[in-house]
Structure 1
Amino acid sequence: MREHHASRGRAGGARLRRSAARAVLAGCAALLTAALATAGPGEVWAAFAGPTANTGNALATSGLFPDYRTAVQASGPVVHHSFDDPYGSSAAAALAGTAGTYNGAAAASNASTTAIASSAGGPRGAVRFPAGTHAAADAPTSLDGAAVNTLALTMEAWVRTGSGGAVLSLLPEGSDPATGRPQLYVNTLGEACIGLVLESPRTLQEVCGSDAEDPKVWTAADQASPAWHHVAAVIDPGGAPGTQINVYVDGRLAYDHGFSATWPQRLAGRLRVGSAPILTDTAAARPAPDTWSGAVDEVAVYTEALSAAEIKKHHDLGTGTVTGDYAATVTALSSRHLYWPLDGVPGAGSARAVADASGKGRAGTHHSYPDLQAAGARTGTSPSGLAVGLSGVNDISTGASRTTPAAFSTEVWFNSSGGTGPLVSFGSTQTGVATAPYGAVYLTGNGNLAFSIRTPQRTVVSARDHRDGTWHLATATMSEGGRMRLYVDGVLVGEDASAPTGPIVGFWRWGGGGDYSSFSTRPGAAFFSGRLDEASVYDGELTPEDVAIHWGASF
């Protein structure tokens, strides 16, 4: 799955390390500071990439999630050329680093299709380079590490070609050191490669694929009409031995290798996109043409080693296929109180136990016998998980009483083909229908989703019937000041801030129970009929971004 070629005077690819490198860029433009939507220290990422019955999600998408370009900027590039320059322009604008100039016959011109999907901010522009042309930075760049074998680097681009050639190069000039000279290119077999010039002794190193199944930028089958591909090379001197040089194609690690000599402390020269002399393609069976012919988009350079997850995120977001992992978005929130995936396994004794995946050890209990291992909600993983089927006579409760803080949130996926009733409630009893809950989320007799607080009584109700046989995400939040909000499928459908609330003591229950006779808006039944999945509670108010991320992670 990997191959490298080392000879005196050759160098290989490398990844960057955040703490090891500092960049000095002549005429460096200010970096954009657009914030990335995250869900806690784990930097959980999600974006809407699938159909939804709620048209409001289109607005939530653009308002809450960064497009591809914002994601790149959030990763901290020292160079970023978007190649959105108007047709006929001789200047290549920069979002980070110095601007550039098109040379030879190259001039800004939109490719027939651009690399970035419309869901990620495209289509914008891309540049098609006729054979032998390139764009070069208007000022030199120098990148410095603390010592040899410390400088981290990532080179990234979207390419479309049927012949290959040099994509992105840092070419020494004048008194610049001749070593380093990183180049990202595509060889005549369609493999993405990284070439480096190492030192002590001077060694040319190339890291490319070696197996027929290695991912390709182009093949004989699509050479005449190649597709866009995302390529990246990551140099991480601090990585495990034998893996300091990594090449990615379409978000996946294609091949890796260690350094065959010393990686220099300093890189200097002028960045070039497009045709450039390639020194490191010494393998006779897979040469790389110096002349680039094809289209290029969204070129970026970073003085750090982007992680595999970050590389994949860039690729997936660019193609509009970002998927998430619902469980990861839940567990990433430090405010989580409990999280029940409801994936219980039937069996004597264990059928009543409800496992907690929050890491807090707050298990629950099934009352009566639900239908376990029913088909579950979308969770962003394949296959989708399992769920609990309730038949209007059973419910689930927490095992111990607790004080819920003034600010809290609860969330659950539900699926109803006609059934109504409580989805989740908080009250003073674990079972039965004798006492009124403090608050509840439920389906009314008309199938509308409602969030009600008993004292002082107030209710927020959705406008539509959700008994449509599909999965929906219900989220109810309460702020410190008493603002209650109800979300359906990641979108706010109503709120009420008319009265403050305070901490209360009791039990969380899912699927039913309680006396709702004092509620002005009531559930359509005492117990829910339908399926429930992925139930969670948080000791704090989830933000609109948190809620949207949870919904988006399901695709």
Structure 2
Amino acid sequence: MSEHHAHPGRARLRRPAARAALAGCAALLTAVLALAAPGGAWATFTASTGSTGNQLAAMAVFPDYRTAVQSSGPVVYHPFDDAYGSSTAAALAGSAGTYNGAAAPSSATATAIAAGAGGPRGAVRFPAGTHAAADTSTSITGAAVNTVALTLEAWVRTGSGGAVVSLLPEGSDPTGGRPQMYVNAAGQVCVGLTLQSPYTLQEVCGYDASDTKAWTPADQASPAWHHVAAVVDPTAPAGTVPCDSAGTQVVVYVDGAVVYDRGLCATWPQSVAGRWRVGSAPIPTDVIAATGEQEGPAPDTYTGDVDEVAVYAGALTAAEIKTHHDLGRGTVAGDYAATVKATPSLHLYWQLDGVPGAGAARTVADASTHSRAGTHRSHPDLGVGGAPTGTPTPGTAVGLSGVDDISTGAGRTTPTAFSAEVWFRSSGGTGPLASFGPTRTGSATVPDVAVHLTAGGSLAFAVRSPQRTVVSARDHRDGAWHLVTATMSSGGRMRLYVDGVLVQEDVSSTATSTLTGFWRWGGGGDYSAFATRPGAPFFTGRLDEASVYDRELSPEDVAVHWAAR
């Protein structure tokens, strides 16, 4: 399974200097640059399950990349299929554009996504200093500040970087949001934003050498296509303070996976207005020389290829971004690990693929790249057959015999909104599947949060204070793999999903306070005070692919996780 490094990214702030043309990038930006790569018909995506006796009443069929993009509702969509030498950039949504300078559609077939419905496709190559600009302006206005959302999308192929998608102001007014996505001199995808109250430019870039890049020196002579996305959503969690590294209001994706995220550093404007430009443009947010943090200044001049540029008046979800990437690549949903890693606010992800052996075998690796490893307690069976995660080579799981559990190595404070998810298989065994409580070993303390199998095989999701429990209706001890997801909203809504489907919820507005403790999987804790208890103190069965999120997963998130198996 591929590794994607997700982290807060680096953010730089400054008061804007007087600078011509572009005054930065605006608010709620979800910039997805959907690259043209081989990709034809995509299999039907259906989020349904027969094993639980429930069915999600939704099916989305995306025959090809462009159908999926148009299903997401772009307000601007330039496919760049224009005939070689044309001066007009035709549009499938919004107004057409005009090529500036020597920019011209490319005749190179390698720059086109695979032909599907709609016939042959092309891309555009931008020599240095050229661009394409919309013929008319676009204005997206929300009900108030910190409400408007925006998404940009395209595929890029470059060996030097530069401005990719920018919103240029019509006049000199600097107060409106002006979003911009660009690739810097280190190959990192960056987002520049113009904020207000106070009027500030914010740049969000990666700072780690392991970040997925749009280009590297190794492939500079023959760069590859990459799908890039930057999402700015002021309605998403901001973290505890402005500009918080734990925030998810600005999320940047490369090839369908999150590479970094952050909270907004100031107020996002009520209106985003101007003309969209693809290719070379001034980059006012990137005015500081390279500091040795694995980042560098970005050239205003863009040199390279661009394809399938779209703008949306709304924030695309992680699932939509991954779907667009997969369709562009010509692949289908079916990589659970990549889907989990692409989900914003991932706190930890244990794939439980350990192998038998002494010493290191007791350590549980964290695939989220946050280095939140865990420890096997007692002697579980490692390397047993795992859950169906969609990859050609199946992963492995951990087998628990009613005396084992797994716990996090370091305590943490949970946010008021969170989610826990794990695959399990039981052929008769019961017990705790996931819990959060004040200790990481022993059974003497009461967990604050618990997901467990009751004596009758039903799934229960419970919180201790104030005590509330939701319980599924059926017995899940059938020897099959099941995905259980428990979510808590900041307002106190509890939801329990099984195999991608909501089976029970408590919509009371009793919010859970922040909790301090440890996540444990498979057992531990005193459940005597719970109204609905696990059937045993430790679980007997198999666990796989355990993950925790610092937000409430949406029903769409859960359905996509189930469908990725």
State TM-score, norm by structure 1.
0.52
- Looking at structure 1, the residues matched to 344 and 322 of structure 2 have their Cα atoms a distance apart, in angstroms, of 24
Q: Secondary structure at the match of 1:330?
A: helix
Closer, same or farther: CA 491–49 of 1 in aligned 2, 3 Å: closer
1:552 matches 2:549: no
Does 1:368 find its partner at 2:378? yes
**Would you say 1:404 and 2:414 are equivalent positions?**
yes
Secondary structure of residue in 2 paired with 1:328:
helix
Say whether the 8 Å CA contact 2:493–2:506 is kept in structure 1.
yes
Deviations along 1:251-291, one digit per CA (max 9) or x if unpaired, are: xxxxxxxxxxxxxxxxxxxxxxxxxxxxxxxxxxxxxxxxx
Question: Per-residue deviation at 1:505?
Answer: 1.3
Paired residue for 1:543?
554
For residues 336 and 519 of structure 1, what CA distance do their matches in structure 2 show? 28
Conserved 8 A contact 1:410-1:476: yes
Secondary structure of 1:158 counterpart: coil
Q: Show the counterpart of 1:500.
A: 511
Q: Distance in 2 between matches of 1:155 and 1:342?
A: 36
SS in 1 for 2:422: strand
Question: 1:513, 1:97 → 2: CA distance?
Answer: 56
Residue identity opposite 1:158 in structure 2: G
**In structure 1, distance between residues paired with 2:355 and 2:486:** 28
Q: Give the deviation of 1:342 after TM superposition.
A: 0.5
Tell me the residue number matched to 1:313. Answer: 327
> In 1, distance between residues paired with 2:224 and 2:523?
56
CA contact (8 A) 2:47 2:58 kept: no
Alignment equivalent of 1:158, drawn from 105, 116, 140: 116
Identify the residue that residue 335 of structure 1 maps to in structure 2.
345
**Matching residue of 1:146:** 100
Name which of 274, 298, 308 aligns with 1:304.
308
SS in 2 for 1:446: coil
Return the index of the structure with the highest Cα Rg: 1
- Structure 1's 235 and 148: CA in aligned 2 closer, same or farther, altered over 3 A? farther
**2:16 corresponding residue in structure 1:** none
1:48 alignment counterpart? 46
Name the residue aligned to 1:325.
335
Deviation digits for residues 37-83 of structure 1 (CA, Å, limit 9, x no counterpart) = 99xxxxxx994378642454441445xx8675750414865579xxx
| Equivalent-residue separation in structure 2 for 1:446 and 1:308 (angstroms) | 38
Q: Is the 8 A contact 1:448 1:465 kept in 2?
A: yes
Q: Is 1:491–2:445 an aligned residue pair? A: no
Q: Is the 8 A contact 1:326 1:553 kept in 2?
A: yes
**Structure 2 counterpart of 1:59, which letter?**
A
Q: Within 5 A, what are the aligned runs for 1:39-438?
A: 47-48=45-46, 52-54=50-52, 56-62=54-60, 70-73=67-70, 74=72, 77-78=77-78, 96=92, 144-148=98-102, 150-151=104-105, 154=112, 157-158=115-116, 168=119, 238=158, 304=308, 310=324, 313=327, 322-438=332-448
Distance 2:403 2:383 in 1: 18
Q: Name the aligned partner's letter for residue 462 of structure 1.
A: S
Moved more, 386-395 or 496-505: 496-505
- 2:525 maps to which of 501, 514, 517: 514
CA distance in 1, matches of 2:157, 2:431: 58
Give the partner amino acid of 2:491. G
Tell me the SS of whatever aligns to 1:59: coil
What is the Cα deviation at residue 236 of structure 1?
7.5
Matched, 1:531 2:542: yes
Query: What amino acid maps onto 2:438 in structure 1?
Result: S
Letter in 2 for 1:541: E
Comparing 306-315 and 347-356, the one that deviates more? 306-315
Gaps of 5+ in 1: 1-34, 39-44, 81-93, 99-140, 160-166, 169-182, 185-193, 197-233, 247-301
In the TM superposition, structure 1's runs of 4+ consecutive aligned residues that sit over 6 Å from their partners are 35-38, 234-237, 242-246, 305-309
Return the alpha-carbon distance in structure 2 between the equivalents of residues 457 and 244 of structure 1. Answer: 54
For residues 37 and 495 of structure 1, the distance between their equivalents in structure 2, rounded to whole angstroms, comes to 33
CA deviation after TM superposition for structure 1 residue 158, in Å: 3.4
Letter in 2 for 1:502: S
Output the amino acid matched with 2:489.
Answer: S
Give the residue type in structure 2 aligned to 1:543. Answer: S
Using a 3 Å threshold, how does the CA distance of structure 1 residues 235 and 445 change in structure 2: closer, same or farther?
A: closer
Give the deviation of 1:542 after TM superposition.
Answer: 1.2
Question: Which residue matches 1:472?
Answer: 482
Q: CA deviation at 1:351?
A: 2.0
- Confirm or deny: 8 A CA contact 2:464 2:530 kept in the other structure: yes
Checking the alignment, whether the CA contact within 8 Å between 1:429 and 1:506 is kept in structure 2 is yes
**Contact 2:91/2:97 (8 A) holds in 1:** no
CA–CA distance in structure 2, aligned partners of residues 436 and 311 of structure 1:
44
Q: Please say if residues 385 and 395 of structure 2, whose CA atoms lie closer than 8 Å, have aligned partners that are also in contact.
A: yes
Letter in 2 for 1:434: A
Q: What's 2:450 paired with?
A: 440
Once the two structures are superposed, what CA deviation does each residue of 1:149-193 show, in whole Å capped at 9, x if it has no partner? 55467476437xxxxxxx85xxxxxxxxxxxxxx67xxxxxxxxx
Contact persistence 1:477–1:542 (CA under 8 A): yes
> Helix, strand or coil: the match of 2:46?
coil
Question: How far apart, CA to CA, are the structure 2 residues paired with 1:544 and 1:368?
Answer: 36
Q: 1:382 to 1:485 in 2, by over 3 A?
A: same
Q: Normalized against structure 2, the TM-score is what?
A: 0.52
The 3-state SS of whatever aligns with 2:68 is helix
Which amino acid in the other structure matches residue 327 of structure 2? K
Deviation at 1:464, TM superposition (A): 1.0
Distance 1:482 1:156 in 2: 46
CA contact (8 A) 1:60 1:548 kept: no
The CA RMSD over aligned residues, in Å, is 4.4
Is 1:48–1:553's contact at 8 Å kept on the other side of the alignment? Answer: no
CA distance in 2, matches of 1:67, 1:391: 46
Task: Tell me how far apart the structure 1 counterparts of residues 221 and 447 of structure 2 sit (CA, whole Å).
Answer: 59
Looking at structure 2, the residues matched to 55 and 508 of structure 1 have their Cα atoms a distance apart, in angstroms, of 30
Change (3 A) 1:308 1:238: farther
Q: Which amino acid aligns with 1:518?
A: A
SS of the counterpart of 1:550?
A: helix
Q: Which runs of 5+ in 2 are unaligned?
A: 1-29, 34-42, 81-89, 125-153, 160-219, 227-305, 311-320
* Counterparts in 2 of 1:502 and 1:245: CA distance versus 1, 3 Å: closer
Per the TM alignment, residue 326 of structure 1 is displaced from its structure 2 partner at its CA by 1.5
Residue 324 of structure 1 deviates from its aligned partner by 2.8
Q: 1:506 is aligned with what amino acid?
A: G
